[in-house]
Structure 1
Amino acid sequence: MAGGSAGGAPTALRLVLGKRLQELRESAGLSFEEAAQALDVTHATIRRMEKAQVGLKVPYVEKLLRIYGVTDQGEIDAFLSLAREANQPGWWHRYRDVLPDWFSAFVSLESEADQIRAYEPHYVPGLLQTEAYATSVLRAGMPHAPAGEIERLVALRMGRQEVLERKQPPLLWLVLDETVLRRPIGHPHVMRAQISRLIEATALPHVRLQVMPFAAGLHPAMYGPFHLFRFPLPELPDVACAENLVGAAYYDQRDDVSAFREALDRMCAQAAPVHRTEAILSGIRKEI
C-alpha cells in the first residue's frame, strides 16, 4: 500500500490477515518467490495478498497456511472463515458503477477506523457536507459527468456520514483552512447551510474542528489535503491517504505516516483552538 494507489478496496480485516500471512511466511523462512512457486503464481501475487491489494482466495490461503507450517485444523478453519468474511463487499459496493477503486479503499478505511484526522485546504470533507454542498462540489469537480452519476455520488457521500451516527463512532478531528469557509460554493444559502452544519458538528463529543486562519501564515501541510486513519485492531498500522487530481496514494510505513502525523500535530498547535471554532464559524456565516 505504501506510496502507491490501492488496488481494490482493502478492509481492516483483510489488512490484518495479510500481515499475518506475511509473519507466517517470514517465520517459515520462505521468500516471496518460494511461496509463489508452491502456488504456481507470480511472487507479485504473494506481495499483493500480504498488502491487502487483492482479495484472499481461500484455496490459496489454505495452501499457504500448510506450507508455512500451520498444522492445527481448527486454526486453519478459523483463518479461512476470517478470509471469507474479509472478502465480503462493503455497503458501498452497490455504488461500484460510479466508485473508482482508489476511492473504494478510502471508504473502506474510513468505515473501519476509530480515529480519522485530516487537513483540508479546499472544501469541507465529505463526512460533514450537506447534500446541496456535496452536489455543488461534485459538479465542479466532474463537469462532464451526467446528472445521474452526480446523484449516485451524492447518495454515496450521504451514506458515508452514517459512520458518525454509530453507537461507537470514530473520533473525527479536522483542520480546515480558512479558505474552505470563505470560498463561495453554490448559492450563498448553500454556504450558510453548510457552515450551520459545521456549527452543529462542533457540539458532538466525537467531532473536533479547528480552523487554520490566514493570519497563521505558512504551515507544514501547504502541499495539499490528507487523511490519517487509526484502527481499533492493534495489528493494523495507521494509514495516511493523500489525494490528487486522478486518485490517491496510501501510506502505511511508520516513517511516512509519522511525517503526516507530525505535520498535522504542528498545524493543530497553530490553528485556532477547538473552543473557538463555533465563534469563528458563526462570524463567517454572518458575513455571507
Structure 2
Amino acid sequence: MTQKKVPPPVMRRRVGSLLREYRERADLQPGVAAKRLGWHSTRQGRIERGIYRVSEDDIRNMLELYGIHGDEDAVRELATASNESEKAGWWGAYVGQISKALLDFIILESKSKKIRVQHPAIIPGLLQAPGYIREIFNSPLHPNNRDLSDMLSAIRMARQEVLHRPGNPVHLHALISESALLHRFPTSPGVMKEQLRKLADDAERPNITIQIVPVEAPAYAAANQAMTILDFRHPWPAVVSIDSSLGGNVLEHPAEVDDLGVVFDQIANLALPADQSRERINSHLEEKF
C-alpha cells in the first residue's frame, strides 16, 4: 500500500510561500532565481513548497536578490520557522494523534500576536471554562470515544495559555452571540454559571476585548460561519481559519483575509461596546444564577 505523504510543517510551508511571494514581486522566474543563487531549480521549488529547511545565510541571500535589503528581523524569523520542529511546544505530545489541520491551527495560534474570533453559536474556545469544554466534547455531536473527548478537552484548555503567557500575551478580540449566554446543560446545571463567571473575569483582562452581539441585532450578524483571524509579527501576513472543532480550513490569500476582516468589523459594529458587553454578561449571571 502506498503511504500517504505527510505535508511539511505549517511554518516551513509559510516560509516557502513568503519566499515565493517575494520572488514573484521581484519579477524573477524560479529558474532564474535559482541560477543567481547558485543552486538547482529543483531546490528552489522544494524551498518554496516548504520541503527543504533554509539557513539564515541562504534566506539573507534570497531576500537581497529579491530587493529586500537589511531586514534582519525577517531573516531571523524565516530561518527560525524553517528549522523549527512542529513538536517544539506543548502540542508535540499530540503529534500523530490529532488531525494535521488541528495541529497546524494550534501552531499558528501560538505564533500570533492578535486574535480576532467570531462565533455565531457558542463561546469561543479560548474563553471556554473547563466544564463547558467537557460538555461540548462529550455531547452526542462528537464521536462516542471518551479518550478522544478527554484529549480534545485537554488540548482546548492548553491552547488558552496564549492569553496568559508572560511578557507577551496575545490580544484577543471576541465577538460572542448573546444566544450563547442562554445555553443550558440539563445534566450539568452549574456549567453555565461557571462559564459566565469566567467570561466576566476575562472581560476585565487588559489583553481581552469581548463584545456581545445582542439578540436584537439583525439576523445576518449570525449568518457568518465561525472564524478566527490571526495576526502575526513582521514579516508574516495574517491568515483566517474557518473554524471547526477539528481544526478548520485556513485561508491565506490576502484578498480573502481582507474581506473577512471587513466582515468581522461589520459584526463588531453591530455588537455592544466592551463596557456594555461586560454589563450584559453580568446581567445574565445575576438574573439566571
Q: TM-score if structure 1 supplies the norm length? A: 0.78
Quick one: which amino acid aligns to residue 108 of structure 1? I
Contact 1:239–1:257 under 8 Å retained in 2: yes
| Deviation, structure 1 residue 223 | 2.6
The aligned counterpart of 1:269 is 269
Pairing of 1:134-283 with structure 2 (within 5 A): 134-140=133-139, 143-166=142-165, 167-185=167-185, 187-220=188-221, 222-233=223-234, 235-244=235-244, 248-283=248-283
Partner SS, residue 215 of structure 1: coil
1:109 is aligned to 2:105: no
| Deviation, structure 1 residue 152 | 1.7
Q: Which runs of 5+ in 2 are unaligned?
A: 1-5, 67-71
1:89 is aligned to 2:90: no
Contact 1:240–1:251 under 8 Å retained in 2: yes
| Deviation, structure 1 residue 18 | 3.9
Over 3 Å counting, the alpha-carbon distance change for 1:153 and 1:266 in structure 2 is same
1: CA distance, partners of 2:128 / 2:98: 18
| Deviation, structure 1 residue 141 | 6.3
**What percent of counterpart residues are identical?**
21
Quick one: which amino acid aligns to residue 40 of structure 2? A
Partner SS, residue 255 of structure 2: helix
The aligned counterpart of 1:56 is 52
Deviations 1:87-144 (A, max 9, x none): 4523212112432111111111111111100111122112111111111111226533
Contact 2:120–2:224 under 8 Å retained in 1: no
The aligned counterpart of 2:69 is none
Partner SS, residue 240 of structure 1: strand
| Deviation, structure 1 residue 243 | 2.2
Over 3 Å counting, the alpha-carbon distance change for 1:32 and 1:117 in structure 2 is farther
| Deviation, structure 1 residue 81 | 5.4
Over 3 Å counting, the alpha-carbon distance change for 1:28 and 1:274 in structure 2 is closer
1: CA distance, partners of 2:52 / 2:130: 36
Over 3 Å counting, the alpha-carbon distance change for 1:143 and 1:231 in structure 2 is closer
* Of 196-205 and 22-31, the range deviating more from structure 2: 22-31
The aligned counterpart of 1:133 is 132
| Deviation, structure 1 residue 33 | 11
Over 3 Å counting, the alpha-carbon distance change for 1:128 and 1:141 in structure 2 is farther
| Deviation, structure 1 residue 47 | 5.3
How many correspondences in the alignment? Answer: 267
Please report the RMSD computed on the Cα atoms of aligned residues, expressed in angstroms. 3.6
Quick one: which amino acid aligns to residue 224 of structure 2? Y
| Deviation, structure 1 residue 200 | 0.5
Quick one: which amino acid aligns to residue 84 of structure 2? A
Q: Please list every run of at least 4 consecutive aligned residues from structure 1 whose deviation after the TM superposition is greater than 6 angstroms.
A: 32-35, 77-80
Partner SS, residue 176 of structure 1: strand
Contact 2:228–2:242 under 8 Å retained in 1: yes
1: CA distance, partners of 2:160 / 2:77: 32
Contact 1:8–1:104 under 8 Å retained in 2: no
The aligned counterpart of 2:3 is none
* Of 242-251 and 257-266, the range deviating more from structure 2: 242-251
Over 3 Å counting, the alpha-carbon distance change for 1:200 and 1:80 in structure 2 is closer
| Deviation, structure 1 residue 204 | 0.2
| Deviation, structure 1 residue 34 | 9.3
Deviations 1:135-185 (A, max 9, x none): 111122653342222222211111111111112111100000112111224
Contact 2:30–2:41 under 8 Å retained in 1: no
Contact 2:9–2:86 under 8 Å retained in 1: no
Partner SS, residue 219 of structure 1: helix
Over 3 Å counting, the alpha-carbon distance change for 1:246 and 1:103 in structure 2 is closer
The aligned counterpart of 1:15 is 14
Quick one: which amino acid aligns to residue 217 of structure 2? A
Contact 2:47–2:53 under 8 Å retained in 1: no
Deviations 1:230-250 (A, max 9, x none): 1112x2111111125875222
Contact 2:99–2:246 under 8 Å retained in 1: no
Quick one: which amino acid aligns to residue 216 of structure 2? A
Contact 1:90–1:108 under 8 Å retained in 2: no
1: CA distance, partners of 2:212 / 2:77: 45
Q: Residue 38 of structure 1: which of 40, 46, 50 is its match?
A: 40
Which of structures 1 and 2 has the larger relative contact order (alpha carbons within 8 angstroms, sep 6+)?
1
Contact 1:127–1:160 under 8 Å retained in 2: yes
